[in-house]
Amino acid sequence: MDLPPENRYTCAYDDGWAALKWAFLPEGADRDHPACNPFGPYGKKLKGIKFPKSLAVVAGLDLVQDWQLSYAGGLEKYGQKVKLLYLKQATIGFYLLPNNDHFHTVMDEISRV
């Protein structure tokens, strides 16, 4: 049985989701909790709820891009306005480094709003 460390945020990010989920979800919660799976079985339905228009930016080389694409698709499914910006050759965290074209593509898109 794995127990969380005394300090809530000491585990390394490379320990994987199983090692990190306790830090963000209520005791006993799983990946269907609405905090990490808003379109799962316990998520709130967004149909008819006023939701701000959204920009979903997905890096094509990000290992969790399927979750990001699913989130954008879920917003669209419930009639929310979402623009998907899929950057095929971008890596995770590209938006932190202003020395690449992907960074500027996102900043240009944000400035149009």
Inter-residue contact 86 to 60 (CB < 8 Å): yes
Residues 62 and 82 grouped into a single domain: yes
Residues 6+ apart with CB under 8 A from 49: 78
Domain that holds residue 70: 48-113
pTM: 0.70
Residues 2 and 57 grouped into a single domain: no
Domain boundary among 44, 60, 78: 44
What total of structural domains would you count in the chain?
Answer: 2
What are phi and psi for residue 61, nearest 5 degrees? -105, 15
Tokens read off for 38: 């808003």
Residues 34 and 57 grouped into a single domain: no
Residues 40 and 52 grouped into a single domain: no
Domain boundary among 25, 44, 63: 44
> How, if at all, do strands 82-87 and 54-59 pair?
parallel
pLDDT value of position 36: 80
Kindly report, residue by residue over 37-58, the tens digit of the pLDDT.
888 899 888 888 888 999 999 9
Q: Report, as an integer, the average pLDDT of 55-62.
A: 96
Angle subtended at Cα 93 by Cα 90 and Cα 99, rounded to the nearest 5 degrees? 70
Residues 33 and 7 grouped into a single domain: yes
How does residue 23 score in pLDDT terms, banded at 50, 70 and 90? low
The three-class DSSP label of residue 94 is helix
